[in-house]
Amino acid sequence: MKLTIQNLSKTYPNGVQALKNVSLEISNGMFGLLGPNGAGKSTLMRTIATLQEADSGTIMLDDIDVLKEKPKVREILGYLPQEFSLDPKVTADDFLDHIALLKGLTDPKNRKETTDALFHQTNLWEHKKKKLGTFSGGMKQRFGIAQALINSPKLLIVDEPTAGLDPEERNRFHNLLSEIGENHIVILSTHIVDDVSYLCSNMAVINKGQLLLNTKPSEAIKTIKNRIYEKEIMKSDINIYKEKYRFLSSRFFSGKTFIKIYSDSNPGDGFINVVPDLEDVYFHHIKNGLTRALHAEEVNV
Ligand code: ADP
């Protein structure tokens, strides 16, 4: 199965251009859509999930025209939105049974088999008799996945699923998603670079509605090999370095300040060449993208 997005654009009535001519191809496996808050990720996810209209462009899921044949898409789509509400007073078991009924599983035996399997798959079996109001953030997210998987979707979209989860819950959620990713297209939208590094075989970076990168994480890392440099600095000097170099990121560790920069050649000045990671790729593209956008604005003026 292949999802092909071509020249997708969307401007909200308040003038915010949330998607600017986005083109993207997504096939089986886990796909990470990475970008900061406000980048346009949810707009893109909601449009693929047939929940909102684009201004122009096309989305094809194999030979289904997503923007026109919405009922067909909904039959094969599972969607876990960024925020969803659950009735706190209802037990997980009753709630999932109700959703399964709504999704057309009218045979009680078939429904029970399906929901039981989903409780096992999402590691919620021992909690299924509990009220949803007692669930932790991670349990709610896994329950959200159980709901999204009821109709055995071919395409699963999860929007910012690990934001707010503690490390153990995040880890469990990662394991669940990678299992699902073995036989589905899973699109994971996130601002957390680690989620993509751990899980995704393909990825895109989006910022301010623009697609900045679309590749495999390993390929992306290769392109900046030997170009990432790190240095321990005095915290108060950070702005000097930001001015002087192509600054990527800073981290504070044991009372020390370390910065990373991008440079085509060895900058000297006490910098050490380090092995790049996906976060370096991310910051490199976000910051480069911003520079390009600023430049375009200057040219327009
Ligand atoms: P992300 O999911 O990456 O955080 P969104 O798609 O939610 O990004 O938002 C992209 C941009 O569109 C942001 O500037 C946001 O404020 C704006 N936006 C999102 N939804 C609406 C809306 N319904 N009306 C107006 N502006 C919106």
Encode 116-177 in three state secondary structure: HHHHHHCCCHHHCCCEHHHCCHHHHHHHHHHHHCCCCCCEEEEECCCCCCCHHHHHHHHHHH
Q: What is the pLDDT of residue 72?
A: 94
Calpha distance 28→62 (Å, rounded): 12
Q: How far apart are CA 183 and CA 195, in angstroms?
A: 19
- Say if residue 173 is in the same domain as residue 56: yes
Distance CA 214, CA 227 (A): 20
Instruction: State whether 7 and 146 are in the same domain.
Output: yes
Compute how many other C-beta atoms are within 10 angstroms of the C-beta atom of residue 237.
12
Beta bridge partners of residue 60, listed in sequence order? 4, 65
65/279 Cα distance (integer angstroms): 35
Token pair in block for residue 240: 């000097």
The closest of 32, 46, 111 to 84, measured between CA atoms, is 46
In this structure, the number of other CB atoms found within 10 A of the CB of residue 159 comes to: 22
What is the SS3 assignment for 247?
Answer: strand
pLDDT at 124: 95
| Pair (184, 260) in one structural domain | no
pLDDT value, residue 292: 56
In Å, how far are 105, 227, 243, 245 from 259, measured between CA atoms?
55, 14, 13, 11
Question: Are residues 203 and 247 part of one domain?
Answer: no
- 95 with 206, same domain: the answer is yes
Quick check: CB of 41 below 6 Å from ligand 1? yes
Q: Which residue has the CA at smallest separation from atom 13 of ligand 1?
A: 38
Residue 157 · residue 49 · CB < 8 Å: yes
124, two tokens: 């919620």
Nearest ligand 1 atom, CA 12: 25
Is 50 close to ligand 1, i.e. is its CB under 6 Å away? no
Q: In tens digits, what is the pLDDT along the chain, a chain of 301 residues?
A: 899 999 999 999 999 999 999 999 998 899 999 999 999 999 999 999 999 999 999 999 999 999 999 999 999 999 999 888 899 999 999 999 999 999 889 999 999 999 999 999 999 999 999 999 999 989 999 999 999 999 889 999 999 888 878 888 888 888 989 888 888 899 999 999 999 998 999 999 999 999 999 999 999 999 999 999 999 999 999 999 999 999 999 999 999 999 999 999 999 999 999 999 999 999 999 987 665 555 554 443 3
- Using a 10 angstrom Cβ sphere, with 0-12 exposed, 13-18 middle and 19 or more buried, the burial of residue 184 is buried
The answer to whether the CB of 155 falls within 8 A of the CB of 4 is: no
Is the domain of 102 the same as that of 240?
no
- Neighbouring C-alpha atoms within 13 Å toward the C-beta of 190: 26
Nearest CA to ligand 1 atom 16: 38
pLDDT at 5: 98
Handedness of CA 86, 90, 91, 93 (dihedral sign): negative
121 and 206 belong to one structural domain: yes
**Final residue before a domain boundary, out of 182, 215, 248:** 215
Residues sharing a CB contact under 8 Å with residue 278, sequence separation 6 or more, in sequence order? 193, 196, 197, 217, 220, 221
Residues 145 and 282 in one domain: no
Q: Is the CB of 125 under 6 A from ligand 1?
A: no
Q: Which residues contact 267 (CB under 8 A, 6 or more apart)?
A: 229, 245, 261
Candidate of 8, 10, 11, 16 to mutate for ligand 1, largest count of ligand atoms within 8 Å of Cβ: 16
Residues 175 and 276 grouped into a single domain: no
pLDDT at position 210 is: 96
* pTM passes above 0.95: no
| Secondary structure letter of residue 91 according to DSSP | B
Do 204 and 283 lie in a common domain? no
**pLDDT attached to residue 69:** 97
Q: Quote the number of domains for the chain.
A: 2
CATH number at residue 114: 3.40.50.300
186 and 153 Cβ atoms separated by less than 8 Å: no
Q: Which residues pair with 230 in a beta bridge?
A: 260, 272
Atom in ligand 1 nearest the alpha carbon of residue 160: 2
Nearest CA to ligand 1 atom 5: 40
Tokens, residue 53: 């209209």
Given 152, 187, 215, which residue is the final one in a domain? 215
> Cα(38) to centroid of ligand 1, in Å?
5
Atom in ligand 1 nearest the alpha carbon of residue 159: 2
Domain boundary (190, 215, 240) is at: 215
- CA pair distance 214, 234, nearest whole angstrom: 36
Ligand 1 proximity of 40 Cβ (cutoff 6 Å): yes
Residues 207 and 227 in one domain: no
- Do residues 183 and 81 both lie within one domain? yes
- The residue segments making up the domain with residue 273 are 222-300
Q: Which of 211, 167, 160, 147 is nearest to 187 (CA)?
A: 160
